[in-house]
Amino acid sequence: MLPWRTIIEIEKECDVPVYLQIANSIIQEMKKGRIGPGIKLPGTRQMSEMLEVHRKTLVRAYEELDAQGWIEMRPSKGTFTIKALPEINPRRFYMKTEKRNSFPATTGYSVKINNNIRTPVFTYRNITGFHDGPDVRLMPVKELGRSYKSILSRTVNLRYLSYVETAGVQKFREVLSEYLNSSRGLQTSFENIMITRGSQFGLYLITCVLFSNGQNIIVGEPNYYYADRCFQNAGMRLIRVRVDDMGIDVDAIEKICRKKKIRAVYITSHHHYPTTVTLIASRRIKLLELSEKYGFIIIEDDYDYDFHYLSSPILPLISADQKGMIIYVGTLSKTIAPAIRTGYVVAPPNLLLELTRLRQLMDTQGDPIMELALAEMFSDGEIRRHMKKALHEYHRRRDFVCNLLTQQLSSFIEFRIPDGGLAIWAKFNKDIPLPALTEKLRPQGLILSNGLIHNSGSVSLNSTRMGFAWMNEKEAEIAVGKLIKTIKEKF
Amino acid sequence: MLPWRTIIEIEKECDVPVYLQIANSIIQEMKKGRIGPGIKLPGTRQMSEMLEVHRKTLVRAYEELDAQGWIEMRPSKGTFTIKALPEINPRRFYMKTEKRNSFPATTGYSVKINNNIRTPVFTYRNITGFHDGPDVRLMPVKELGRSYKSILSRTVNLRYLSYVETAGVQKFREVLSEYLNSSRGLQTSFENIMITRGSQFGLYLITCVLFSNGQNIIVGEPNYYYADRCFQNAGMRLIRVRVDDMGIDVDAIEKICRKKKIRAVYITSHHHYPTTVTLIASRRIKLLELSEKYGFIIIEDDYDYDFHYLSSPILPLISADQKGMIIYVGTLSKTIAPAIRTGYVVAPPNLLLELTRLRQLMDTQGDPIMELALAEMFSDGEIRRHMKKALHEYHRRRDFVCNLLTQQLSSFIEFRIPDGGLAIWAKFNKDIPLPALTEKLRPQGLILSNGLIHNSGSVSLNSTRMGFAWMNEKEAEIAVGKLIKTIKEKF
């Protein structure tokens, strides 16, 4: 008999379960040849006594070896190592001399460079800065992890692991529909909701299905960078309309409509991006009327409706749309986490059907396990509770940062205190050019966007979004301190 | 003092933590008005004695109320309910009479119907059937759930919750690169890998970046439905080339190249989809040569390389590509679960850069938590072990189902035993039309694809993919039994 006690190493303190350690040891020895092919293994009782482990552990180890194809169990004869090792020997189909030594450095065909979209710049947000987004430390990630694991562990959910509804799991769409109806005054059913990978995915799908080369779309001046690029990528002509203290200038939109065929108007009604201005009621009513009169589609991107600090958000335009002119786009990415890309499109079913048709060619479907986990977190109140807490904290942070800036930087920047959202729209004095300033801040470990993506024409706004939600009070104090010092010393 | 003991209901058996039950009770009573504004709450010690819970529980309950904005803690004065309830009162911006009672049934603008792509048909796979896919019961979902939760619970990973690399988390790309190098003979680094939402997402991105209206692409006859639709959606002209027992006819491709400019050739080299045929070595070499000579791109969709039963898979074409002519597309969806949409594109960095640029407009980025979880499962051997086990079981199931079909249905269907993959390509006799057969099977709770999506022209192949991996032996026996009975009785 082989010296099993020596061959099989068991570390009781190790993370790997003991049965797997036993199975892995036997596999290693079979690969090395110390345990030959066709050898009879001791029975589980005998082996468990030798190794001083529970017999059940041995049964599991043998089952593992059998499942992986290393042993054969012959009824009433015993357990034998298999005759041919289940190792894989891939076949090369070319001469070895032909083989290259490294991966080709570049394509053998030409690839058109798309200068229209900037190269992804990524900064892990583990440094201080006026990042425009929620604080990852306040996110309900433990709850999400627990919920995700729990959904995966229930046998009844196995059916969601294969192919599911392209528009998203019905249960989640139902929960979301209820949430949108109660928080935004809508009258949707789940059939009006499509789940997307963040709101950007919704914009992209809408653009592909509804828009074509050469059509006109009205956007704000300035406007959300990635929305502009999305429309331009489809060949649309952007017509820019001024945004003032009351939101986008609807009279200007009317004038354009009298002269040109307009396919759509893109708005960020609750807090205009990037300026944070709320579109006032009278303009909302007029915009809806114009939409019906001139037949243009309104894309209402309500990316931060849930972040408002006056306890009286203004209902979205779609709550009053009787003719189906509005497509409403929203996101949970800022509520849960930007990396958990979960957004939605609200629209009549005939549009959603076409969006799902196209979606099959893109990513086939969403992540049903995540959708079920989020549905559960909505149903048991976890998400609402989290939102309330986060909102309360961001409200504090907004006040804190705005106070600091007003007290110490009012001669260098201009800004209004935003009613909601996670950032301030700040205009810097001309003699403090943002690109130069941000370059001086970066070596100090302080991130501030240089604001260049907000310039739609050749005129520099010298303005940027300064996120206040990302930092706690102490961090904000340090960040504002560095900003002031740098401005005073260098400009 | 208020009768706190009566007001606050605690159920110790309940799933909701006690501190949350206390906080929720107080919120409810504040909403009802039983606890008024500006009321001083008992101290945590006093309250904990009244409610007979640990004082720490009370501290957490008060913290929760404070975080949600229901109470104020005034240093050395005590804890008070706030004066204005933090309830939200959204503002309507239109007259109530204008308000509609239901969501618009249809859009107010016209939506073009895309008859090119079929409407999503979805069947939850909780019934028996020859489904073409892996068995959800064999998937490492418990391990995945554990890993996902564990990644989310580590503070060091918080930085992955915000915005990350568009091409996928570097750690995962490194692990995947190693895996592809060792299993497929490649020489990639992480810079040659982009993570996508399933292989379909890769195909879509490649199509948008590299192809344009009116260009020619060669595909198999028959070919994978969603690849065809993806290319057609971009306006490409499909040129179909016969697939025989040795794979796609490369001589026919050469003839076409002599006459026409070909932008790309799409192949499923390891097991042609849908016919399961492997492209032979000599044709692989010639196809690569033609690609360099005529400058066409090869898209190598290797969707099921990991599922082979001869222990000697043939290395993909990209392992011999020295000029960067090949774009390799793969997926983990069949290894982990179809619903966990994780695929990858392997290509030189200049192409990947353009793919990531476009991706920013689509879904911004992937799911970094899932990517880290999968990276961990690769690193600790969990995925390889799982693949080995699953492969072993699918091998058994293939043999079992093929035996049943050969013994009992050989006069009605024609098929070859596939070297790998999860399905058999079966041609049914002309007098058993598949659409009629499948309609008769469905009421018996048995799913078989009618094969219509494999017909590229007007000629019916009367062939379909019969998945064998989805069912265990007992289920397969029942399914094949029903199939035989129905064929014999009805045709």
Is A437 strand, coil or helix? helix
In a domain, B318, yes or no: yes
**B359 half-sphere exposure, CB direction, 13 A CA radius:** 27
Q: What is the mean pLDDT of residues B233-258?
A: 97
In a domain, B132, yes or no: no
In a domain, A97, yes or no: no
* Co-location of A408 and A330 in the same domain: no
CB of B382 less than 8 A from some CB of A: no
- The domain tally of chain B equals 3
Using the 3D structure, point to which of B57, B81, B105 is the last residue of a domain. B81
Note whether A281 contacts B93, CB cutoff 8 Å.
yes
Q: How far is CA A406 from CA A402, A416, A430, B122, B266, in A?
A: 6, 10, 18, 57, 61
* Co-location of B77 and B152 in the same domain: no
Residue A55 identity (one-letter amino acid): R
* Co-location of A176 and A266 in the same domain: yes
* Co-location of A399 and A273 in the same domain: no
pLDDT of residue A76: 86
In a domain, B322, yes or no: yes
CB of A428 closer than 8 Å to CB of A463: yes
Residue A103: name the closest of B323, B292, B188 by CA: B188
| Local confidence band at B119 (pLDDT 50, 70, 90 cut-offs) | confident
Using the 3D structure, point to which of A34, A61, A81 is the last residue of a domain. A81
Chain B residues near residue A385 by CB distance under 8 angstroms: 20, 64, 68
Indicate the residue of A124, A230, A353 with minimum beta-carbon distance to B361. A230
pLDDT tens-digit series, residues A13-33: 777 788 888 988 888 888 888
Chain A residues near residue B380 by CB distance under 8 angstroms: 16
Residue bearing tokens 């070895």: A96
Residue B134 identity (one-letter amino acid): P
Q: How far is CA A489 from CA A429, A437, A482, in A?
A: 15, 11, 10
* Co-location of A345 and A415 in the same domain: no
CATH of the domain at A183: 3.40.640.10
Q: Measured between CA atoms, how close is A275 to chain B, in angstroms? A: 21
In a domain, A431, yes or no: yes
Note whether B107 contacts A348, CB cutoff 8 Å.
yes
pLDDT surpassing 60 at residue B290: yes
Optimal mutation site among B65, B141, B290, interface A, most CBs of chain A within 10 A: B141
The region, left, alpha or beta by phi > 0 then psi within -120 to 50, assigned to residue A462 is left
Chain A residues near residue B362 by CB distance under 8 angstroms: 200-201, 204, 362
In a domain, B134, yes or no: no
Which two tokens mark A475?
A: 């961090």
Strand order in A413-414's β-sheet?
A: A413-414, A423-428, A463-467
CB of A471 closer than 8 Å to CB of A448: no
Q: Measured between CA atoms, how close is A84 to chain B, in angstroms? A: 11
Which B positions 97-156 lie with beta carbon below 8 A of chain A? 98-109, 111-114, 117-120, 122-126, 131, 133, 136-137, 139, 141-142, 144-146, 148-153
CB of B266 closer than 8 Å to CB of B231: yes
pLDDT of residue A30: 85
Residue A271: name the closest of A186, A334, A187 by CA: A334
Note whether A314 contacts B90, CB cutoff 8 Å.
yes
pLDDT surpassing 60 at residue B98: no
CB of B253 closer than 8 Å to CB of B265: yes
Q: Measured between CA atoms, how close is A34 to chain B, in angstroms? A: 21
* Co-location of B50 and B188 in the same domain: no
Residue bearing tokens 């001869």: B310
Distance CA A232, CA A437 (A): 30
Using the 3D structure, point to which of A58, A81, A104 is the last residue of a domain. A81
Note whether A120 contacts B360, CB cutoff 8 Å.
yes
Note whether B233 contacts A360, CB cutoff 8 Å.
no
Query: Could you list the residue range(s) of the whole structural domain that residue B213 is in?
Result: 140-381
Note whether B229 contacts A164, CB cutoff 8 Å.
no
Distance CA B330, CA B345 (A): 7
CATH of the domain at A486: 3.90.1150.10
Q: What is the 3-class SS of B329-356, one letter each residue? A: EEECCCCCCCCCCCEEEECCHHHHHHHH
**Taking the CB of residue B407, how many other CB atoms lie within 10 A of it?**
9
pLDDT of residue A228: 96
Note whether A313 contacts B393, CB cutoff 8 Å.
no
Note whether B141 contacts A126, CB cutoff 8 Å.
no
pLDDT of residue A123: 62
Which A positions 248-277 lie with beta carbon below 8 A of chain B? none
Distance CA A336, CA A342 (A): 9
pLDDT surpassing 80 at residue B357: yes
CB of B201 less than 8 A from some CB of A: yes
Residue B318 vs residue A64, higher pLDDT: B318
Chain A residues near residue B136 by CB distance under 8 angstroms: 158-159, 161-162
Which two tokens mark A338?
A: 């930007």
Cα A29 from chain centroid?
45
Residue A61: name the closest of A76, A75, A42, A74 by CA: A42
Q: How far apart are the first and last CA of chain B?
A: 84
Distance CA A376, CA A370 (A): 10
* Co-location of B262 and B363 in the same domain: yes
Residues of chain A with confidence (pLDDT) below 70: 86-88, 95-101, 121-127
pLDDT tens-digit series, residues B66-97: 888 888 888 888 999 988 776 667 888 876 65
CATH of the domain at B32: 1.10.10.10
Distance CA A114, CA B324 (A): 20
Average pLDDT over chain A reads 91
CB of B368 less than 8 A from some CB of A: yes
* Co-location of A396 and A372 in the same domain: no
* Co-location of A294 and A424 in the same domain: no
CB of B373 closer than 8 Å to CB of B148: yes
- C-alpha torsion sign, points B51, B55, B56, B59: positive
Q: How far is CA A116 from CA A113, A217, B358, B360, in A?
A: 9, 17, 10, 12
Note whether B120 contacts A204, CB cutoff 8 Å.
no
Q: Measured between CA atoms, how close is B261 to chain A, in angstroms? A: 13
Cis peptide preceding B42, ω within 30 of 0: no
In a domain, A441, yes or no: yes
Note whether B113 contacts A354, CB cutoff 8 Å.
yes
* Co-location of B338 and B433 in the same domain: no
DSSP tally for chain B: helices H, then strands E: 15, 14
Q: How far apart are the first and last CA of chain A?
A: 84
Distance CA A329, CA A437 (A): 35
Looking at A67-223, which runs of residues are DSSP E strands?
Answer: 71-74, 78-81, 193-196, 216-221
CB of A356 less than 8 A from some CB of B: yes
pLDDT of residue A125: 59
Torsion angles phi and psi, residue A149, rounded to 5: -65, -40
In a domain, A190, yes or no: yes
Distance CA B80, CA B285 (A): 80
* Co-location of B370 and B271 in the same domain: yes
pLDDT of residue B163: 85
- The angle at the Cα of A230, spanning A113 to B216, to the nearest 5 degrees, equals 55
pLDDT tens-digit series, residues B167-219: 999 999 999 999 999 899 899 999 999 999 999 999 999 999 999 999 999 99
**Taking the CB of residue A241, how many other CB atoms lie within 10 A of it?**
19
pLDDT of residue A83: 83
Note whether A106 contacts B348, CB cutoff 8 Å.
yes
- Tell me A182's DSSP state: H
Q: Measured between CA atoms, how close is A192 to chain B, in angstroms? A: 8
At a CB cut-off of 8 Å and minimum separation 6, what does B489 contact? none
**Taking the CB of residue B331, how many other CB atoms lie within 10 A of it?**
25
CB of A17 less than 8 A from some CB of B: no
Chain B nearest-CA residue for A297: B109
Residue A335: name the closest of A313, A310, A302 by CA: A302
Residue B369: name the closest of A98, A68, A327, A339 by CA: A339
Q: What is the mean pLDDT of residues B429-437?
A: 96
* Co-location of A240 and A215 in the same domain: yes
A-B contacts at Cβ under 8 angstroms: 425
Chain B residues near residue A87 by CB distance under 8 angstroms: 311
**Taking the CB of residue A189, how many other CB atoms lie within 10 A of it?**
14
Distance CA A383, CA A381 (A): 6
CB of B168 less than 8 A from some CB of A: no
Note whether B314 contacts A90, CB cutoff 8 Å.
yes
Chain B residues near residue A324 by CB distance under 8 angstroms: 104-109
Torsion angles phi and psi, residue B258, rounded to 5: -65, -25
Note whether A339 contacts B162, CB cutoff 8 Å.
yes
Chain A residues near residue B138 by CB distance under 8 angstroms: none
pLDDT of residue B82: 86
Which two tokens mark B85?
A: 């309830």
ipTM, 2 dp: 0.89
